[in-house]
Each structure stands twice: as structure tokens, then as C-alpha cells.
Amino acid sequence: MSATFAPPAELAALEGRAWLAGGLGALASAAGFFVDRPQFFRSYLVAWLFCLGVALGCYAIALLHQMTRGAWGLMIRRPLGAASRTLPFLLLAFVPVLLGLEELYSWARPGAAADPLIAQKTWYLNPGGFLVRGLVYFAIWIGFAWVLNRMSRAQDRKESDRLFRRMQAVAAPALVLYVVTASAGAVDWLMSLDPHWYSSLFGVMFVVGHGVAGFSFVILVALYLSQREPMREHLQPRHFHDYGKLLLAFVMLWTYMQLSQLIIVWSGNLPEEVTFYLNRTAGGWKWLSVALVLGHFALPFALLLSRDLKRDARKLARVAVLLLVMRWFDIYWLAAPAFAHGGGLHFHWLDLATVVGLGGLWFALYVRHLASRPLLPRFEPYLREALDDE
């Protein structure tokens, strides 16, 4: 067994390629800002929410592991922790969203209060409140992530059952606050794009999407590490089997939330509610809706039922790639129709440029964090149990 669990040296080259891709995407995005300012902010919002969803999904999975324990989470705790340490970067990346507030949100524009419905919500939907709430969300996430990462790092120096229990005690309120703040963030950043529409399930649906994104991403990272020392001998088929089962659970939960919202809205048949789905089932949007049903549920669900597939890291990774792509399309499906104003589905080159730019820079920073610490906590009391062969 490796004594230090040092990250593979190949991570340096991977980080360099990510910086290159992110830099090129950022340059293209900057050019797009001057060419089409409104479109830049719309595309950037989707890209930012996608990257944030991956980071928060990893953060939430780490909290879930601390609460429940288990070999599955211990083997990926450090990759999950590395993602949570990118949250300060995503807070900085929140600045363009603030700069484009009036371009993105109708309630932030001068004279918006002339709309009677918006006027009733100005106590909540106002630029000052939007900024303060966003800072509070990030302060909570970054604060708890810092504490847990610091405690996990201490397990590289000494063995302590008390430290493990303290991590559990911190994770419990952190998980509750994550669900509350991420749900509120969904209302601020996505649902308020259409201030005339409301759904009580929207926030939870957004949180579940984080779980899908987080597990999909960490499965790909686990595959990469399993092909290199020191994790080649430690990441076993049983671990990937667990990741596949948990990913299936989140896919089913996401589908349940989506279907529940659709049934509630459609059965209520209220004009201010059904327009959400009418706008997303007309013209080209209909085909994107069908693609989400197939790519975010039907196909992954059918594939993840297979025990053999879940135990094959490469095959499981293909499903994870599909779901990551579908996560971007899902966020786009939620956000873009608010700007279409009854128009058809239309992808813009900035949609690709912004996600490559921001995603590349985020991933480069992620790889740097991943390479900065041992891949397993050396003095974790349950490490031997996690490393035992099947």
C-alpha cells in the first residue's frame, strides 16, 4: 500500500491543457462580449450555473459521505474536496452575472415595478438583495468547505477518532444549509428569469441536479486516477459499482422531481404556470425537451440498471459524460426560453465559448487543487476497510 498516496505527475500536463482551452474560450467569450453584449450574459449565466452545479454537487456528496461513512466516499473524498475548494473562484466568476443584471433579469430593469406582479415582489427581487443573498450563500459554502478540508488535511498527520466525529458534526448542519441556500439560489439565479412564474419544487430540483453533475464528474476523475498510480490498485470495481448505484438514484430522483412539477402545473392548468411548459414544448424547444427525457433519464436509467456496466469504469464513464452534457442542456432549457420571447430554439456560438472558457479555467484550478494533496487521508480510521479487496 502506498505510504503517501501522492497524486500522479500527469496532472501537471492535464492542468496545462485545461489552462490552454480555458484561455482560448475566455478570449472568444471576451470578443463575444463586444460583438453581442446581451447574448454574452445569457450564455455566461448558463455556463456559470453549470460549473457551479458540478462544484456544489461534489461539495454536497462530500457532506453526504461524512454523514454516512462508507468506502465509496472515502476513495473520492479528496477529489470531492478539491472541487469544493474551487468555490472562491466561482464566487469571483459571479461578478459578470452581477454586471449583466439588467440584461438578464426583467425585474432589475428601470421601470420594472410598473408591472403589478413584479411590484409585489420587489421586497425580494431587487439588486441589493440579489447581491447580499449571493454573498451569504457563498460565505456558507466556502466556510464549511474550508473547515472540512482543513480537518481532512489533518488526517495526513495524525490518527484521531475524535477528528472523524468532529467532521461528522460539521457536515450535518452544512448539508442542511446547503439544501436551503442552493434552493434559494435556484430561485434567484434561474427561476427569477421569469418573475411571473413560480414552482415550489424548483429549488429542490436544482439541488438534485447538482447531485447528478457531481457524481458524473467525480466518476470521470475516479476513472482517470484508477489508471494511474497510486490509485490503480486501490480503486476497485466495487467502488465504481457504488458510484453507479448512487448516480442511478440521483437520476431517478431528478426525473421524479421533474415529473412531479409537470403533473402539478398541468393539472392546475393556470395561465401563469402552464406558460413555462408551453414555451418549452413549442417549435425547436420540443425536440430539446424530448432529448432531455431520453438523455437525462431514459437512456441512463436503462444503462445503469446493468450491474456489469456499473462495475466497468470505462462504460460507467460514458454514461457520466452523457449526463454531464445533459446537465448543460437542462440548465439551458431552464434559462434560455426566458430570453427567446416566443421565438424558436437557437444556439449561439457564445454558448460553446463561455462554457469552454469558464469550464476550462475552473477545471485547471480543480486539477491544481487535486494535485496539491495526497489522494487519500493517510490516518483516516476507516481507510483499511476501504482498501480491502473484494
Coil, helix or strand at residue 122: coil
Q: What is the mean pLDDT of the chain?
A: 93
Q: Among 27-31, 335-339, 347-351, which stretch is predicted with the lowest mean pLDDT? A: 335-339
pLDDT per residue over 68-127, tens digit each? 888 889 999 999 999 999 999 999 999 999 999 999 999 999 988 899 999 999 999 999
- Domain residue spans in the chain? 11-387
pLDDT at 386 > cutoff 50: yes
Higher pLDDT, 356 or 157: 356
Residue 340: what pLDDT?
A: 77
Residue 165: what pLDDT?
A: 87
pLDDT band at 1 (very low <50, low <70, confident <90, very high): very low
What's the mean pLDDT in 322-331? Answer: 98
pLDDT at 175 > cutoff 60: yes
pLDDT band at 281 (very low <50, low <70, confident <90, very high): confident
In whole angstroms, give the CA distance from residue 75 to residue 218.
Answer: 11
Higher pLDDT, 181 or 377: 181
Q: Which of 375, 390, 385 is nearest to 2 (CA)?
A: 375
Q: Locate 336 and state its grid cell.
A: 434560455
Q: Among 165-179, 196-210, 214-228, 271-285, which stretch is predicted with the lowest mean pLDDT? A: 271-285
What percent of the chain is predicted at pLDDT more than 70?
A: 98
What's the mean pLDDT in 265-274? Answer: 86
pLDDT band at 269 (very low <50, low <70, confident <90, very high): confident
Exposed/middle/buried for 303, CB within 10 Å: 0-12, 13-18, 19+? middle
The answer to whether residues 264 and 258 touch, using CB atoms and an 8 Å cutoff, is: no
pLDDT per residue over 203-235, tens digit each? 999 999 999 999 999 999 999 999 999 999 899
What's the chain's length in residues? 390
Residue 270: what pLDDT?
A: 84
Residue 390: what pLDDT?
A: 57
Cβ within 8 Å of residue 105, ≥6 positions away: 125, 130, 192, 193, 195
In whole angstroms, give the CA distance from residue 21 to residue 352.
Answer: 12
pLDDT at 2 > cutoff 50: no
pLDDT band at 341 (very low <50, low <70, confident <90, very high): low
Handedness of CA 100, 106, 111, 113 (dihedral sign): negative
Residue 3: what pLDDT?
A: 62
Go through 349-365 and write b for each residue having 16 or more CB atoms within 10 A of its CB, e for each that does not: ebbbbbbbbbbbbbbbb
Residue 389: what pLDDT?
A: 63
The answer to whether residues 276 and 264 touch, using CB atoms and an 8 Å cutoff, is: no
pLDDT band at 50 (very low <50, low <70, confident <90, very high): very high
pLDDT at 325 > cutoff 90: yes
What's the mean pLDDT in 9-30? Answer: 98
